[in-house]
Structure 1
Amino acid sequence: MHVHINAERKEKPLSNIPMTPSGALTAPRQKSNRVGGWLPQNPKLLISWLRDLVAEVNKHKHDASISSLLLSEPVQQLKELIESTAELRMLASGMFDEVPDRAPYNEDPIGNKQIKSYHEMLEMFDFVMNNKAPSWKKLEYDAGLIGFPFNAILDWPMATASGYAFFLKPEVNSKLKYILNTWKSEVLMTAKSQHVITTGEDGWLSQDSLMNIENDTNLTGQELTFQQIFQCDPQADPKHWGFKSWDDFFVRKFKNIDQIRPVAFPGQPEWIANSCESKPFALQSNAQEYDSFWLKGQAYSVSEMLHGHRFAEQFVGGTVYQAFLSATSYHRWSSPVSGKVVHTEVVDGTYFSEPVTKGFTSSEGPDPASPNRVQSYISHIATRAIFFIEAPKPIGLMAAMYIGMADVSSCEILQKFDAKSLPASVEKGEEIGLFHHGGSTHCLLFRQGVNLAFVTGAIPGNREKNLPIRGPLAIAY
């Protein structure tokens, strides 16, 4: 069964609402505050994690006999930026003052906040940046893994009005990029993080972790073990299975991708392959050039998504498909079509921006695992890699976007498709890039006039598991 999207439609664009074959509207059914599994749905677990982090930092200060940590250069630069203007200092202070003194946003029933000021935030940043790699804990994963430690620190402050203004500032995001890149290069990509990739109870190679990864990855009826699915070496390295770091584990490759994830209809250019191992999030037809993507409906605004590129106007009135990657999924990208890559770029953007419609002013309350509920919103402003690919008819020019989310904002385009190497031919299913430090979200954009029939599993809410990478996604006609 396929679901048809007629790109010639002229009615008001649909916001995150797919169409059934009869044209009736159906709302997505996934629980958006659980998507990705990077932060817990239960705020008590987040509070418990923050309490432990604060205690760990305070113990570190006590052992060193200091009242405050000497901040590392990247965090010190953020501190100096905050204190360089009255506006930034007010916003940085206000986003902690505006978090309500009531459960579940405080530490305990008497109203003590976990982190009371941007000074304490900076100390938490510094400690995580220099010391912490996400570890596996089954109790946490059952309710949502805390795999985004920086996001966990900011989860409530970013839901305030001051936090919204603060985290949109380009100069703030420049300093956050320095901090996150330092964390990645000095901890996550080094042996300093290898201790979490073990077979121990809190290790990513523990039986509980492997069971979840295998469950997320066995999508085609096969029941394969982790060792059968991924490149690893438990015999030569029984402790770490050959993984040198957290990042090495999270960018792991399939052992035989052509067997485990065969390319959908390789000789048929009208068939579009799934670009990431992911679960559908949204599908919108008749996307507008400019739209109110920051409001509750979160419509797509293609010019801003595509960073104002000259090709963007070709996608006005077209179709946008978005899907998200989870914490235990495969994190590499494959080309959805064969053809020629004619343009690529990585756009610097925000890391922790949450619109006020999903903050404390929302009738539903703030997203307990932001920015999960606002993936359409972040596709316009977050750090993202953009590909334009010229495919054969009936698809023609299409765009693919791979979007960093919070701590996960390292978008790597493979050298073959670097801007200096273009144009470059690409085959459907060929690897084109990857996320470092886990999963995120991605979008495929098709021009007006390209009629698409999506497989039933591509409709948000129709499938509990991921769609396999390189599998069938849609057919153009």
Structure 2
Amino acid sequence: MKSLLYRSFIELTNGRVTSGIIKNFAESKWSRRVVPSFAKWYGINQEEMGGSISSYPTLKDFFIRELKQGARNIDPGENTIVSPVDAVIEDVGGISSDSEFNVKGKNYSVKEMFGDRGLEGKYIGGVFMVLYLSPSHYHRIHSPVNGKVTAQYTLGKKSFPVNKMGMKHGKSTLAKNYRCITELETNYGHAAVAKVGAMFINSIELTHQGDSWRKGQDVAYFSFGSTVVLFFEKDMFEMRKDLHVPYDIRMGEVIGSYKKANKTI
């Protein structure tokens, strides 16, 4: 009953009109007035920002801010995989033989997540990782690996909350929200980066249009809170042993390594 009421409320408030109002305000010059209080409320580290608090003309510009050079270190290891975002690792697990993965007690279909593209089969027996970005996080997305882009496309229309309430009471939130899927072929197999939109503002902007990604490269950004889900082929990914759930991670930090080289590109 609680889940039904929650979903009904979100459906009523997550329409085109309310989303448009919030989007228009965030992009307006009037939103500049709330930037200082937003930064204070969420405890934004202003020392690492690429500009001063007064240099952002809108709330959106502040939200998609860049960092000072050197604010994040990208692990240079040849066999390491790094976090693409500042986030909380909310879940990690295996992908079952029927291409399902379980997040917070709910089963999701890799096929539904990826759409009807025939990509899901290669991830059976592999590993997924869910990284949640709150409004307090740096919201640019960087490549976790070096690889060639083999597929990139968007799916879904509306977006529902991806916070704890949304994950608990929403219905297939990760696999139904507006999302952008990028699949990469590395020297060790395929990895997919699913960028999942959050409630109200379905904004996932690509900042890199090339056919290859370099580890640590700025490739996209979110407008407001969201989630990244990583997928790795079977026998490709080994998680860093000291990681646990939940775990605060910064972009560029090692999340794992390749198990073995099994391909050359």
TM-score (normalizing by structure 1)? 0.49
Q: Return the match for 2:91 from 282, 288, 311.
A: 282
Q: What residue in structure 2 maps to residue 452 of structure 1?
A: 238
Per-residue deviation at 1:260? Answer: 1.8
Q: Provide the residue aligned with 1:23 in structure 2.
A: none
Structure 1 residues 157 and 299: CA distance shift in structure 2, 3 A: closer
* Structure 1 position 410 matched with structure 2 position 200: no
Q: How far apart, in 2, do the equivalents of 1:341 and 1:330 lie? A: 24
Select the residue among 26, 30, 35 that pairs with 1:197.
35
> How far, CA to CA, are the matches of 1:430 and 1:370 in structure 2?
32
* SS of residue paired to 1:416: coil
The aligned runs of 1:15-94 (5 Å cut-off) are none
Structural mapping, 1:72-221, within 5 Å: 158-159=5-6, 163=8, 167=11, 176-177=15-16, 179-181=18-20, 183-184=22-23, 186-198=24-36, 203-205=37-39, 208-209=40-41, 212-214=43-45
Given that 1:389 and 1:398 are in contact with CA atoms closer than 8 Å, whether structure 2 keeps it comes out as yes
1:431 corresponds in structure 2 to: 218
Give the superposition deviation at 1:348: 2.0
Q: How far did residue 209 of structure 1 move?
A: 3.7
CA 1:300/1:454 → structure 2, altered by over 3 Å: closer, same or farther?
Answer: farther
Gaps of 5+ in 1: 1-97, 100-155, 215-225, 234-239, 355-366, 418-423
For 2:100 and 2:108, the matched residues in 1 are separated by: 6
- 1:265/1:292 CA distance change after superposition, 3 Å: closer
Structure 2 runs not aligned, ≥5 long: 260-265
In the alignment, residue 414 of structure 1 is paired with which amino acid? T
The correspondence of residues 212-251 of structure 1 with structure 2, limited to 5 A, is 212-214=43-45, 226=46, 228-233=47-52, 241-251=54-64
User: How many Å separate the matches in 2 of 1:406 and 1:293?
Assistant: 22
Amino acid in structure 1 at the alignment position of 2:114? L
What does 1:265-344 correspond to in 2, within 5 Å? 265-266=76-77, 268=78, 270-291=79-100, 297-344=105-152
| 1:367-399 Cα deviation digits (max 9, x unpaired) | 9x6314368931111111111011112xx1110
1:305–1:473 distance in 2 versus 1, CA, 3 Å: same
What is the CA–CA distance in structure 2 between the aligned matches of 1:292 and 1:450, rounded to whole Å? Answer: 17
Post-superposition shift, 1:440? 1.3
The aligned amino acid for 2:238 is L
Measured at CA, do residues 389 and 375 of structure 1 come closer, stay the same or move farther in structure 2, by a change above 3 Å? farther
Q: Secondary structure at the match of 1:260?
A: coil
Aligned-partner SS, 1:241: helix
The alignment status of 1:381 with 2:176, answered yes or no, reads yes
The letter for the 2-side match of 1:468 is R
1:288 CA displacement: 4.5
Q: CA deviation at 1:312?
A: 1.9
Query: Quick one: percent identity of the two aligned structures?
Result: 19
Q: Separation in 1 of the partners of 2:198 and 2:60?
A: 16
- CA displacement at 1:180 relative to structure 2: 1.9
Instruction: Letter of the 1:370 partner, please give it.
Output: M
* 1:383-442 deviation digits (Å, cap 9, x = unpaired): 11111011112xx1110111112224311122515xxxxxx1211000110101x22111
User: Does the aligned pair in 2 maintain the 1:319–1:445 contact within 8 Å?
Assistant: yes
SS in structure 1 of the partner of residue 116 of structure 2 = coil
Larger Rg: 1
Q: Deviation per CA, 1:56-90, whole angstroms, max 9, x where unpaired? A: xxxxxxxxxxxxxxxxxxxxxxxxxxxxxxxxxxx
| Number of residue pairs aligned between Structure 1 and Structure 2 | 259
Q: Which has the higher helix share?
A: 1
Q: 1:158 to 1:370 in 2, by over 3 A?
A: farther
Q: Deviations over 1:130-152 (max 9, x none)?
A: xxxxxxxxxxxxxxxxxxxxxxx
Give the residue type in structure 2 aligned to 1:276: V
Deviation at 1:347, TM superposition (A): 1.3
Secondary structure of residue in 2 paired with 1:263: coil
Whole-Å Cα distance in 1 between the matches of residues 258 and 97 of structure 2?
21
Name the counterpart of 1:261. 72
Q: Which has the higher contact order (CA 8 A, sep 6+)?
A: 2
